Amino acid sequence: MTLDISSAPIASDTTDHAPPTPQPPKGSRSGRALLLHDLPASLAVFLIAVPFSLGIALATGAPLTAGLVAAAAGGLVAGLLGGTPLQVSGPSAALTVIIAGVITRYGWQAACAVTVAAGLLQLLLGALRVARAALAVSPAVVHGMLAGVGLTIALAQLHVVLGGSPQSSALANLLALPHQLAGPHPAALAVGAAAIAVLVGWPRLGRLPGRSGRIGRALSRVPAALVAVAAGTALSMGLGLEVARVQLPGWHDHAVAALPSPGVLAAQWPALLAAVLTVAAVAGVESLLSSVAVDRMTHRPGDLDRELRGQGLANIASGLCGGLPVAGGAVRSTANIQAGAVSRWSSVLHGCWVVLAALALAGGLRRIPLAALAALVLVVGIQMVSFAHIRRVHRHREFPAYLATVLGVVVLGVPLGVAAGGAVAALLALYRLTRAHVDVIASADGAYHVHTHGPLTFAAVPKLTRALAQVPHGAPATVHHDGSFLDHAAYDAVHTWRAVHQAGGGRVAMVTEQQSAAVLDPDGTVVVEPDATGHRCRAWTPWMGHHCIEQAGDDPHGRLLDGVRGFQEHTAPLIRDELARLAREGQTPSQLFLTCADSRMVTSMITSSGPGDLFTVRNVGNLVPAPYEPGAADDSVAAAVQYAVEVLQVRSITVCGHSGCGAMKALLDGVHEQPGTPTPLARWLRNGRGSLARLRRAPARFTGRPPTDQVEELCITNVVQQLDQLLANPAVERRVAEGSLRLVGMYFDFATAQAYVLDGPGGSFHPVSEEYREQHRTTGTPVPA
C-alpha cells in the first residue's frame, strides 16, 4: 500500500522519479509564472498540509493549533530562507514519539522550549557548515528509525480509531490492544474505517477503465488525505454519530514556549538536553535527506547549510509561537514539484493559506472527528514501514542494523533506538573491514589457485599465511586478490611467501580480479582477462572535484607532459603487452561512437570500454552533415562513417549527445544565421538546421520526465535528427537494410551522471538502469546500448 501522505524522507537511492521542474523564470516573466505555476501548486500543498498537521498534533498530544502553527512556520520561514527552494516544510511524523514523550513528562510549554533550543542548535550547525556530515548516517538506521516511529504511531492511533485513548508507550499500547478490540466504539470505528477506505481507494480511481478512468484521474488530483477527513466528517454529521471531535482552542488561549520551573529544570536538565539534541538531529537529517531528494528531482543543486539554517529559524519561530517542531517533508515537496511549482514562493504561499485557514475556518475544523484524523495518521505510520526500503537494506546486507533500530525505537524510544542501530551498523562495518576469506583450490594440472576475498589487513595475516602454506613447494601457483584493501602487513606476508616459493623453483602469478584481471608473472608478463560482462577494463574510479591536469598555472603544456610521464611510468608497463597485441592484429572495434568534443564527455568512462573497443568520432555538437547540404557539407565525418562501416565492419553506430551542449545553445541563439561572412563555427553549425526544424515539428521526449529546458529538448532532438542524417549515407543505408548494422541514440546528463537510450525509431529516451536491462531480457527485446 503506497499513499502520498507520508512525511518520511526519500532516501538517497530511492526512486524519486518525479520530473525535473522547469528553471525559475526571470525578469518580467516572474509575476506571470507565480500566477500560472506557484499559486496552483501552493493550493495543492495546502490541501495536504492542513489535515496532516492536525493529525500529527493529535498524535503528539499537543494542542491541535500547534500543528497549524508548525505548517505556517515551515512554509513562511523555511520556505523563504531555506536553501532548497522547492522543499516544503511542516510538522514531522518522525518527531511524533519524541515530542509526545516531552509533553507527557514536562508539559506543552516545555516542548515548545525544546523546539526553540533545537532550532538554535540547527542554526549554529548550519553556520558551521556541517550539514553534509548529517548525510553520513547509515540509511538502514534512518529507515529503521522511521519504521519504528511509524509502528509506534500506528499502535497509538489504532486506539483512537477504536474509540479509546492511547497509552504512554508502544508496548503499553500493544498490551492494551486486545481489551480495546474486545469493546470498540462503533461510531468512531465507522468513521475511522471510512477514512481508511478512502485513503486506500482514492488514488486507485485513475486506474479504472474507460470513461470512469478519466473521471477518476480528474478526481484523484484532490489529495486523498483531504477527501478522507472530509468523508469522515460528512459521515459523522450526516448520521448524527456521537464521536469525539477536534477541540481547537481559541487563539487567545494558545500557549507558547516557556521553560519548566527552576526545580524541574535543575533536576531534569540531562533529559531535556537529550530531547533537544534528538529533535535537532532527527529533524535536521530528515530535512537534509529530503533536500537531497528534491535536488535530484529538479536537477537544481541546493545549499544544504542554508537549508539547515532555514530549518533552524523555522523551528525557533514555531516554538516561540507555540508550534510543533518543523522538518522538510519529501512527500509534500514532491507534491509541490508535481503541481508545477517553479520557485520558493509556492511554499511561502502555502504557509499563508494555512494562516488564513487557521483564522477563518476554525469553526469548520472543530467538526472533524478525531477518529478521521487518527485514521490518517495511522495510515501514515503504516506507510513509514516501507517494504521497498526493507528490500534495499537487505540487498546491501544491512538488515541487522535496520531491525535493531526498529526494535530499539519501539521498545526504548527514538534516542536509544537510533543509538542501538548505529552501534550495530558500526559493528557491521568493522566486521566487513576485518573479514577476509582465503580459499586454496588445486587444479587437475597440478597448479594451485589462492583466492582472497575482502580486505587483507594485519588481522587476516594468520589466515592468509596458513592458506599459502598449503601450496606444495615447487608447484605453480596463482594468487587471485579481489582488489580490496591490502595493508602493509598483508602485503609483506604475500610477497615474502612469493619470494620463498620462487626460490624453491615455484612459479607465482599475482592476479587482481576487479572487473579486469591483470596477471603479473615473475618475468613481468601481463595477461588481461575479460570479466563476465565482456569488458576488459576496470570500472571508473569514483571521484569528485578532481582534475587529472591542473587547470591553473602558467605552463599547461608542461603539466600535460607530467601526465604523459605518469602514464609511461605507471600505466604503460601494465598494458604494453595488450597494446602490442592490438598493434600486431590491428583494430577490430564493434561500434562507431559519434559524440561531442566537449571535454566533460569521457567515452571510455560512460561505456566502460578500453583500447580497441570503440571507433570514435568527435566534433562540435555530435553532428552528421547531410550530403548536398548547401554551405554546410563536410566530408570528414562521412569519411569516418564510411571507413567504420565498410572497412572495419562495425555492427552498431551510436550518436551520443549530452546536457548543456554549447553547440545547441549556439543554434538556439542563431549563431549560424549571423549576417556577413560566416565563421568556420557558423558554417559548421548549419549542419544542425535540420535539428532546429525537427524541434519545431516533432521534438524528442524522455520517458517519465519532461526536458529541463529548451536546450535539453534540442540536445535529444538533435540525436534523433543525426540518426536520420546517418541513413542518408549509402553505406549505412545498405547495412541497416541488410540487418547487419544497428543505429543507436544516446544522451548523457552530466548533472545526474545518467545515460539515456532511445527506444527505437520515434520512441523516447529511457534511463539506462539494471531494471531496464532486466526488462529487456525478460521480454526478449534487445537492449539499446
Asked if the model's pLDDT at residue 536 lies above 50, the reply is no
Residue 10 dihedral angles phi and psi, to the nearest 5°: -80, 125
pLDDT digits (tens, 9 = 90+) for 729-748: 888 999 998 889 999 999 99
Q: What is the mean pLDDT of residues 633-652?
A: 88
Question: Which of 199-203, 413-417, 648-652 has maximum average pLDDT?
Answer: 648-652
* Gap between the terminal Cα atoms of the chain: 35
Q: Give the mean model confidence (pLDDT) for residues 589-608.
A: 90
pLDDT in tens, 156-206: 889 888 888 887 778 888 888 888 888 888 888 999 999 999 988 888 887
Alpha-carbon gap, residue 333 to 8, rounded angstroms: 11
Q: What is the pLDDT of residue 27?
A: 43
Distance from C-alpha of 469 to C-alpha of 402, rounded to nearest angstrom:
40
How does pLDDT run across 107-131, given as a tens digit for each residue? 888 899 999 999 999 999 999 988 8
Sign of the C-alpha dihedral computed for residues 491, 496, 501 and 503 taken in this order: positive
**CA 735 to CA 727: how far, in whole Å?**
10
DSSP string for 661-715:
-HHHHHHHTTGGG-SSSPPHHHHHHGGGHHHHHHHHHS---BSSS--SSHHHHHH
Angle 180-181-183 from CA coordinates, rounded to 5° = 70
The answer to whether residues 673 and 764 touch, using CB atoms and an 8 Å cutoff, is no
> Which residue type occupies 708?
T
Phi and psi at residue 543, in whole multiples of 5°?
-150, 165
Residue 89's pLDDT is 93
Q: Model confidence at 33, in pLDDT bands (50, 70, 90)?
A: low
Measured on CA atoms in the order 308, 311, 315, 317, is the torsion positive or negative? Answer: positive
pTM of the model: 0.54
Average pLDDT, the chain: 80
Q: Which residues of 249-274 are buried (b: 16+ CB within 10 A; e: fewer)?
A: eeeeebbbbebbeeeeeeeeeeebee
pLDDT tens-digit series, residues 663-678? 999 999 888 887 878 8
The tens digit of pLDDT for each residue in 755-781 reads 999 976 667 899 987 544 544 444 444
Confidence at residue 605, expressed as pLDDT on a 0 to 100 scale: 86
Backbone dihedral region of 765: left (phi > 0), alpha (psi from -120 to 50 degrees) or beta? beta
**66 SS3 class:** helix
pLDDT tens column, 208-263: 777 777 787 778 777 788 888 889 989 988 888 888 887 766 666 666 555 566 66
d(CA 204, CA 775): 25
Q: How far is CA 752 from the centre of its chain?
A: 10
Cα–Cα distance between 366 and 137 in angstroms, integer?
41
Amino acid in the structure at residue 121: L
DSSP 8-state symbol, 343: S
pLDDT digits (tens, 9 = 90+) for 81-96: 999 999 999 998 788 8
Residue 8 near residue 386 (C-beta atoms within 8 A):
yes
Q: Is the predicted pLDDT of residue 718 greater than 90, yes or no?
A: yes
How would DSSP label each residue in 204-238? Answer: GGGGS-HHHHHHHHHHTTS-HHHHHHHHHHHHHHH
Instruction: Supply the pLDDT for residue 255.
Output: 60
Q: Which residue has the higher pLDDT, 267 or 749?
A: 749
- Over the stretch 494-521, which tens digit does the pLDDT of each residue have? 888 988 998 888 888 877 654 333 333 3
Q: Rounded to whole angstroms, how far apart are CA atoms 570 and 558?
A: 18
